[in-house]
Amino acid sequence: TLYTMIKNDDKSIDLDFVYGKVKKIEDKSVFIPLDGQQRLTTLFLLHWYLAPRDNENKIKEEYRNLLEKFTYETRITSRDFCNELVSEQLNKNLCIKNNEEQLSIYIKEQKWFYESWLKDPTIKSMLKMLDAIDLKFKKESNFFEKLITNELNKAPITFQYLPLDNFGLTDELYIKMNARGKTLTDFENFKANFERYLDKSDIHKMDNIWTDLFWEYKTSKDGYFFIDEKFLNFFTNMTLNLYVEKNELKVKKKIDDINIFDIYETVYEDKENVNRITILLDSLCNIINIDNPLYKYKEYFDVFIGHKEEEKKNDNELKLSYWHRARFYSLSLFLIKYKTIDDSNIYKLKKWLRVTFNLINNQLIQSPALFMNVIKGLKKLSENIDNIYEDLASKNTILGFNERQSEEEILKASLILKDNKWETLLEDGEQHWYLNGQIGFLLKYSFKDGDTSINLFKNYLEKFKLLFTEDVLNNNNYLIQRALLAKGDYLPSIKSNYTFCSSETALRTKEDNWRKVFNDFDEDSEITYIFKKLLDDISLEKDIEFNLENIINTFDEEDWREGFIKEPLIIDYCKRLQIRFENENDILLLSKERTSGI
């Protein structure tokens, strides 16, 4: 398009608004664009390319002086690259290079070009643009004078300039700037407004080190790279977290229905929140580095900004759930407080994340209201982040979290303070693929003579780990279910049905299955004690399948359990692992989700 406009005297193109401010810097008037950097860079490169071709392969001094005024402030490498481009020597040789050679390759072969510059996305984009310009214009001449004509009606390329000095960053401004109908993106809107709240010393970070933080997640379109979506995801989700700390959520159904532009002023007019998100971004820049031992926490950042959503969009657990939001918020609370992670506080981080992740992972968070409670609870808990175990040991409950997990974390903190040998042992149990932080039933099994026995707990944990492997739990012969049934009627109820228990790991499913077995300590129930009997009868010296088959084979009672214990195909017929007791003598095997037609 630009080629056509320059070649034909009767054609022209307007590049719409390029807006910004003129500031005095060291007695010089400097135009700082707020938007339109890509268009201005393209025009700079076009002028640079055409100028020497009409003047014996050399840029006139007056034009060189003008081109030298174009610079990048935030990236030193981009600034240096532009300076070298305008150098006299390069322009002398430019037009006599091999016409078959790409211009970008020719430039990269120059002595002054540093290979490390290729890591600068701005330079990479400029090289790509130069190749496109060279491909189109290399056979042409006398184009430069047409390009720079002062006759407005003959100018092939124009744009609208609107100084912003007398405007505030409001919707009215954007309407005026975009009179031709071109709207700003959500990110551009947010960025322009957010920068109003930043200290002058931090504004440059938006286009510098914070941009570098998100560059790994860039997407490409039309030869340009974009990080706007991930950057905006971070600000949207973190702004929401900060808002929830002190405010009530009005939305009832989906948290995604909240518009960030409705709440950001409430959040960032509080200077403390501006400081906190600035500290957080700086901290993330330090730890999200593959050479940093804290790099393992990067996965929480990835999910928080939506990086894994497209990659694994069919897995609900990897979308940005309430749990993901809460886990990243927990990490952010620590980073904001300590600013950096080093040997002096790495153990505190480990303790903090262990406790809070246990609480979060075992809390059903299925609505904005429940999420709000969790955020407020974590914020309250962080007031004693330095001494998390001591703080927990002094509590009766934990704000925002269910009673069962709160009591468990309080008990575990007390045990660790009494004997630090507990910590490693408890972590071992918490990291089990199915337990995921909830091991309270094993601690209760280990209570003897008025205290929780570390040796009993160790024994029960080892037996549980032997029993609850994915291979054993998903055994086609249902060894665990049949052996457990031989010890008693352990089947927990789900509405009108009773379940042999599924091995699915979604929290809601676990709560309706094995956790009902583990945690039913009601006085009138024997379910969890049936499971304890099974663990008591397992020998660590023998193969787990031998243990279970021995228990199954020695069952000799005659009641409704007998058929299920003796013949695993009966359980297998129940596709949802559920049955229904129609009356004292009849049991309905549920092969479908609904009973009609069975």
Residue 506 predicted with pLDDT over 70: yes
Neighbour count for residue 50 (Cβ, 10 Å): 24
The β-bridge partners of 24 are 29
The answer to whether the Cα torsion of 317, 322, 328, 330 is positive or negative is negative
Contact assessment for residue 105 and residue 134, using Cβ atoms and an 8 Å cutoff? no
Q: How far is CA 359 from CA 304, 331, 394, 423, 438, in A?
A: 19, 14, 17, 16, 9
Q: What is the pLDDT of residues 2-38, one digit of tens each?
A: 777 777 776 767 666 676 777 777 777 888 776 677 8
Rounded to an integer, what distance in angstroms lies between the CA atom of residue 481 and that of residue 456?
Answer: 24
3-state helix, strand, coil in the chain (%, to 5): 55, 10, 35
User: What confidence category does residue 289 fall into, taking pLDDT thresholds of 50, 70 and 90?
Assistant: low
Q: Choose between 192 and 493: higher pLDDT.
A: 493
User: What confidence category does residue 163 fall into, taking pLDDT thresholds of 50, 70 and 90?
Assistant: low
Q: What is the pLDDT of residues 171-201, one digit of tens each?
A: 444 444 444 344 556 777 788 778 888 888 8
Contact assessment for residue 16 and residue 160, using Cβ atoms and an 8 Å cutoff? yes
Token readout for 75 is: 């990236």
Write the DSSP assignment of 541-594 as a string of letters: TS-HHHHHHHHHHT----STHHHHHH-HHHHHH-TTSEEEE-SSS-EEE--SSS
Q: Choose between 596 and 545: higher pLDDT.
A: 545
Residue 314 predicted with pLDDT over 90: no
pLDDT at position 525, please? 84
Average confidence (pLDDT) over 490-501: 95
User: What confidence category does residue 45 fall into, taking pLDDT thresholds of 50, 70 and 90?
Assistant: confident
The DSSP call for residue 140 is: -
- The pTM of this model reads 0.70
List own/partner pairs for 159-163 with CB under 8 A and 24 or more apart: 159/14, 159/15, 159/16, 159/17, 159/18, 159/36, 159/39, 160/14, 160/16, 160/17, 160/18, 161/17, 161/18, 161/19, 162/17, 162/19, 163/19, 163/20, 163/21, 163/22
Q: What is the pLDDT of residues 208-266, one digit of tens each?
A: 888 888 887 777 665 455 678 888 889 989 999 999 999 888 766 678 778 887 888 89
Residue 316 predicted with pLDDT over 90: no
Q: Which helix (H) or strand (E) holds 159?
A: strand 157-163
Average confidence (pLDDT) over 487-512: 94
pLDDT at position 320, please? 79
The DSSP call for residue 319 is: S
Q: How far is CA 487 from CA 460, 482, 498, 566, 571, in A?
A: 17, 9, 17, 14, 17
Token readout for 304 is: 């928080």
Average confidence (pLDDT) over 514-529: 91
Parallel/antiparallel/unpaired status of strands 13-25 and 28-33: antiparallel
Rounded to an integer, what distance in angstroms lies between the CA atom of residue 44 and that of residue 131?
Answer: 14
Q: What is the pLDDT of residues 415-445, one digit of tens each?
A: 999 999 999 999 999 999 999 999 999 999 9
Q: What is the pLDDT of residues 576-595, one digit of tens each?
A: 899 999 887 799 999 875 55
Q: Choose between 180 and 71: higher pLDDT.
A: 71
Q: What percent of the chain has pLDDT over 90?
A: 46
